[in-house]
Structure 1
Amino acid sequence: MALTALQRKQKQLERQREQERLQPDSTYPFLQEPFFEWLKRTEGYGDWDSGVFHLHASQVTIPDFDDDSGPHSVDGETELHWKDNPEESHYAGFERSIGRAECLVDDLLSAASNFALVINSYKREKLKAKIVEIEQADLSDSAAKKKALADIVRLQKLLDQLDKRVRWTFPQWKVKGV
């Protein structure tokens, strides 16, 4: 079956995004001082320390930035996944300590998105189950019926709120293809 124009365009954009992902950041040639050295020199740089605070508060250990090595996994599993095709690996396009920091941001955003989806699914499932429970309850008493209807309205508002998307804005941290 032939692809529609929209499907062809989506595939083209997907190929472009994948090619861009594999490219090194366009700023790399201009970054003379390694990121890990800059970070040490600017020790106490507020936003980095704030990020570290939030990771520690969430029981997540921040990687050390004490050398200029590129991104790598804790256990080596990620590298094994792409051992036959390292140029297409999760770390493709990331170089040195700045690449490790960029990859950290990407991975934290992906993790946050995945965790938010799981939490959202859990809450939606439990709220829908509560609505079903209320609907199946004995509502012969007018006071109980009134409370049940109010609860269902509130639960539906909560579900509507969970249907919404949230947007966070960040400074641009990667520049590719420029």
Structure 2
Amino acid sequence: MALSNAEKVRRYRERQKAKKQEAMKTPTQNADLFKTPFFEVFTLDDQYDSLYAHSLELAGVQPLYFTDDSGPEACTLDDLSDSREESGFSNPFGDSKGSSLGKAEVLIGCLIDAAHDLAHRVRDYKYAEIRARIAEIEQTDLSDPEIKRAAFATVAELNAMLVEFNKEIRVPMPKWKPDIFIGTFEEWLAKQTFVVKFES
């Protein structure tokens, strides 16, 4: 079955969104522009008093502190050993390996992904539980008009909650990565895809 234009556009936008999500976990790769190490600017005292640390501690998560200019590879729990690589290790973090700024950028992207996944799982759980309560109400004896009226009101409230779970929220957040390319013209040109249309 051929896809409609609307379906093609929707799928294209989904692919673009997925690429952007993946790019959020990739550190900025221009050390010439960001010369002062991030850990020197966001000092340990600032980190202890930050909302970043307080929020993670409140959730029971040990914050990742920036005490040196080590990159994301220094703190990952994933096994990065790869016999196919020359160094014996894979590097999913790009050229900013060994950079506290790179570690911060990867952390931001990973926290967003973790919150997104957890929100989906909580929503799916609540959705299933509400559907189960509606099914229980539908199985009860509704011969008494007063019980029937109360049951309909409860089901209406529960259905309204289900509608709410189909919505998405937007959390305003400062932009930490520019959409503009930082690098040489040749590097920028190599990343571009050109579509040439011929007029007939």
Q: TM-score scaled to structure 1, two decimals? A: 0.78
Provide the residue aligned with 1:52 in structure 2.
53
Q: Which has the higher contact order (CA 8 A, sep 6+)?
A: 1
Residue 107, structure 1, aligned to residue 110, structure 2: yes
Provide the residue aligned with 2:100 in structure 1.
97
CA distance 1:94–1:175, shift in 2 (3 Å): farther
Asked if the contact 2:27/2:105 (under 8 Å) is kept, the reply is no
Letter in 2 for 1:122: Y
- Deviations along 1:17-39, one digit per CA (max 9) or x if unpaired, are 48x93975265321111001111
Name stretches of at least 5 consecutive residues in structure 2 with no aligned partner: 183-200
Provide the residue aligned with 1:160 in structure 2.
163
1:19-168 equivalences under 5 Å are 21=23, 25=28, 28-40=31-43, 43-44=45-46, 49-72=50-73, 74=75, 76-80=77-81, 84=84, 86-87=90-91, 89=92, 91-92=93-94, 94-95=96-97, 96-168=99-171
> Identity of aligned pairs, percent?
28
Task: Judge which range, 112-121 or 137-146, deviates more.
Answer: 137-146
Give distance in 2, aligned partners of 1:84 and 1:4: 43
Figure out how many residues of one structure are paired with residues of the other and give that number.
Answer: 169
Name stretches of at least 5 consecutive residues in structure 1 with no aligned partner: none
Give distance in 2, aligned partners of 1:23 and 1:107: 10
Letter in 1 for 2:144: D
Give distance in 1, aligned partners of 2:95 and 2:83: 16
Give distance in 2, aligned partners of 1:167 and 1:133: 34
Give distance in 1, aligned partners of 2:27 and 2:42: 21
CA distance 1:59–1:76, shift in 2 (3 Å): closer
Asked if the contact 2:123/2:165 (under 8 Å) is kept, the reply is yes
CA distance 1:84–1:148, shift in 2 (3 Å): farther
Give distance in 2, aligned partners of 1:26 and 1:62: 24
For the aligned residue pairs, the C-alpha RMSD in angstroms reads 3.3
What is the deviation of 1:106? 0.4
Q: TM-score scaled to structure 2, two decimals? A: 0.71
- Deviations along 1:29-59, one digit per CA (max 9) or x if unpaired, are 2111100111118x4379x701110000000
Asked if the contact 1:35/1:97 (under 8 Å) is kept, the reply is yes
Give distance in 1, aligned partners of 2:122 and 2:74: 25
Q: Which has the higher helix share?
A: 1
What SS does the corresponding residue of 1:79 show, helix, strand or coil? coil
